[in-house]
C-alpha cells in the first residue's frame, strides 16, 4: 500500500524525508508506464521548485504532489476539459479558487490530468488523448472510471497524493471505487466552483481523491476553508441505514461479496445498521426523464460550440448534451421544483439516521476494450455508464455529501463502500468513515 499524505507529513516533520525527495518519487511514478495517458501536460520542474521553497514543510500540504483535473483554471494555461474543442482558447488569467487554495497550502502541482470529455461520463474513456488504464486490475486493461479518470490514477499510482477533481453525478467517487482509493464529495456549496468549467451549475461539486480518509479530511479543510469537527464517538454510537431501493440491485459477484462481508464486519464491531426502503429513490428516473440538470445546463454552455465544431466532439458526449436542447424554461423550472420537493421528502425519511451505507457502484471495473470508442460499443458504453452513475448520482440530486472508501479484500478487484447523508452533514459522514476505515484496515 502506498503511503498516504498524513504518513508522509509525519515523516517530513520528523526529518525522515524531505519534500524534494518526495517530489522525485512522484515524478518517477508519473513518468512510468502505469501513468500512460494520465497527464495532458506536466509541471514537474515547477513542482521541484515548490518542494525546495524554504519553509514549505510547515504549510499544510508541505510541497507534496497534487494533480489538477483539466477542468480547473490555472493561470497561464488553457483549460480544455479533456477536449480538442477548446485547444485554441485563451489561457486562464488567474487560478480557479480551488487551485489558489491548494497553492497557498503548499501544493506542488504535477500537471493537468486527463478526463472524460467535458466531464460527461462515469466511464473515463477519452477518444482524443487516450484512456488511463486502471492500475489495480491486473494484466487486462480495465477502465479507471470517470470523469476524474487521470486524477484517480495519479493518486493510485503514487504520482500525486491528492487528485483535484469534480463530482456532478459521481465523477470523484466512481473512479475512487474502481481504483481502490478514497473519494470525498462534499456538500456542493462548501467549495466555490469559480474558475471551473461547468457541466451542471446545479450539481457540480469541487472535491478531491486521496489515499485515506484522514487525507480527505485535510484536503476538504483546505478546499472549503473550514475546520472539520472531529468526534471521539465509536462506530457503535452512530445509527446507520442501508437503503434497499435500487442501490442494491444487480450487484456483481465481487461487489456483493465485498458488500456483505463489510456489513458483517461492521455489525460484529457493534455498528447499528438498519435496512430501510427509502422508496423515494425510485422517483428520480421520472424526475429526470427530460435529461436532468446536466443535459439542460451543459447544452446552455455548449450549444454554440456544438453548432460550430460538432465534428470535434466525442460523439458520446455530444449526444448527451443534445438531450438538453428540447428542455423548455417551464420544464427547467419544474425540474428545480420537483427536486426541492424530493429533497424535502428524502430529508424527512432520513432524519432518524446519522448516515447511510451503500456500494459506491454495483460492479467492478469493466474491461476497457469492451467500451472503446466506436459505434459497435455504444450500447455497452451507455449501459455501463448508467450503472456506474446509478448510486452516486442520488447524492448529487439530494444536495448531499458522500465518501467512497475501499472495502475489498486482498486479491479482489477494487470495490467501494459509500457513506452518505444529506446537505451539510459532511463532518458526520467523515467521522463515520474514519471509524469504518480504521476497522477495515485492521489485520
Catalytic residue set: 69, 147, 171
Residues in contact with 41: Cβ distance below 8 Å, sequence separation at least 6, in sequence order: 77, 111, 112
End-to-end CA distance of the chain: 14
- The x, y and z cell numbers of residue 172, run together, are 470523484
Q: Coil, helix or strand for 140?
A: coil
67 in Cβ contact with 111 (< 8 Å): yes
Residues in contact with 109: Cβ distance below 8 Å, sequence separation at least 6, in sequence order: 43, 46, 47, 50, 66, 67, 68, 74, 99, 102, 103
Q: 41 burial class (0-12, 13-18, 19+ CB within 10 angstroms)? A: middle
Q: Coil, helix or strand for 71?
A: coil
- The x, y and z cell numbers of residue 178, run together, are 474502481
- The x, y and z cell numbers of residue 367, run together, are 474491461
Residues in contact with 5: Cβ distance below 8 Å, sequence separation at least 6, in sequence order: 61, 64, 161, 162, 210, 211, 212, 214, 215, 218, 219
Residue 4 dihedral angles phi and psi, to the nearest 5° = -90, 180
Q: How far apart are CA 358 and CA 347, in angstroms?
A: 17
Q: Going by DSSP bridges, is the β-strand pair 416-421/355-359 parallel, antiparallel, or unpaired?
A: antiparallel
Grid cell 519534500 — which residue?
19
Nearest CA among 192, 249, 188, 184 for reference residue 210: 184
DSSP 283-318: GHHHHTTT-HHHHHHHHHHHHHHHHHHGGGS-HHHH
Residue 55 dihedral angles phi and psi, to the nearest 5° = 80, 5
Amino acid at each position: 500500500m502506498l503511503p498516504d499524505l498524513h504518513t508522509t507529513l509525519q515523516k517530513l516533520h520528523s526529518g525522515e524525508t524531505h519534500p524534494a525527495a518526495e517530489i522525485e518519487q512522484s515524478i518517477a511514478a508519473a513518468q512510468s508506464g502505469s501513468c500512460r495517458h494520465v497527464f495532458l501536460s506536466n509541471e514537474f520542474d515547477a513542482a521541484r521548485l515548490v518542494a525546495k521553497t524554504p519553509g514549505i514543510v510547515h504549510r499544510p500540504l508541505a510541497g507534496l504532489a497534487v494533480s489538477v483535473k483539466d477542468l480547473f483554471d490555472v493561470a497561464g494555461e488553457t483549460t480544455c476539459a479533456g477536449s480538442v474543442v477548446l485547444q485554441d482558447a485563451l489561457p486562464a488569467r488567474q487560478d480557479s479558487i480551488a487551485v489558489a487554495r491548494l497553492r497557498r497550502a503548499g501544493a506542488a502541482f504535477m500537471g493537468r490530468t486527463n478526463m472524460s470529455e467535458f466531464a460527461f461520463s462515469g466511464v473515463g474513456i477519452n477518444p482524443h488523448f487516450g484512456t488511463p488504464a486502471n492500475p489495480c486490475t491486473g494484466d487486462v486493461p480495465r477502465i479507471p472510471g470517470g470523469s476524474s479518470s487521470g486524477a484517480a490514477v495519479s493518486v493510485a499510482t503514487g504520482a500525486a497524493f491528492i487528485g483535484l477533481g469534480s463530482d456532478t453525478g459521481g465523477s470523484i467517487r466512481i473512479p475512487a471505487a474502481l481504483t481502490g482509493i478514497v473519494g470525498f464529495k462534499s456538500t456542493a456549496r462548501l467549495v466555490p466552483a469559480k474558475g471551473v468549467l461547468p457541466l451542471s451549475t446545479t450539481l457540480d461539486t469541487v472535491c478531491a481523491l486521496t489515499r485515506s480518509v484522514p487525507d480527505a479530511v485535510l484536503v476538504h479543510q483546505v478546499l472549503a476553508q473550514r475546520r472539520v469537527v472531529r468526534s471521539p464517538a465509536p462506530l457503535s454510537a452512530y445509527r446507520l441505514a442501508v437503503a434497499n431501493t435500487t442501490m442494491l440491485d444487480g450487484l456483481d459477484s465481487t461487489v456483493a461479496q465485498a458488500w456483505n462481508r463489510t456489513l458483517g464486519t461492521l455489525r460484529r464491531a457493534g455498528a447499528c445498521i438498519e435496512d430501510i426502503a427509502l422508496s423515494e429513490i425510485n422517483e428520480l428516473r421520472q424526475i429526470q426523464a427530460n435529461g436532468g440538470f446536466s443535459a439542460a445546463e451543459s447544452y446552455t454552455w455548449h450549444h454554440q460550440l456544438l453548432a460550430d465544431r460538432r465534428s470535434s466532439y466525442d460523439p458520446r458526449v455530444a449526444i448527451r448534451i443534445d438531450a438538453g436542447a428540447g428542455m423548455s424554461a417551464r420544464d427547467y423550472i419544474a425540474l428545480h421544483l420537483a427536486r426541492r420537493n424530493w429533497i424535502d421528502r428524502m430529508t424527512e425519511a432520513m432524519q432518524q439516521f446519522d448516515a447511510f451505507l451503500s456500494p459506491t457502484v454495483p460492479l467492478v471495473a469493466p474491461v476497457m476494450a469492451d467500451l472503446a470508442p466506436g459505434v459497435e460499443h455504444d450500447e455497452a458504453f451507455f449501459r455501463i455508464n448508467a450503472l456506474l452513475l446509478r448510486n452516486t448520482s442520488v447524492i448529487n440530486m439530494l444536495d448531499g455529501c458522500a465518501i467512497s472508501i475501499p472495502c475489498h479484500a486482498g486479491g479482489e478487484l477494487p470495490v467501494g463502500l459509500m457513506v452518505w447523508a444529506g446537505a451539510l452533514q459532511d463532518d458526520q459522514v467523515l467521522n463515520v468513515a474514519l471509524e469504518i476505515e480504521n476497522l477495515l484496515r485492521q489485520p
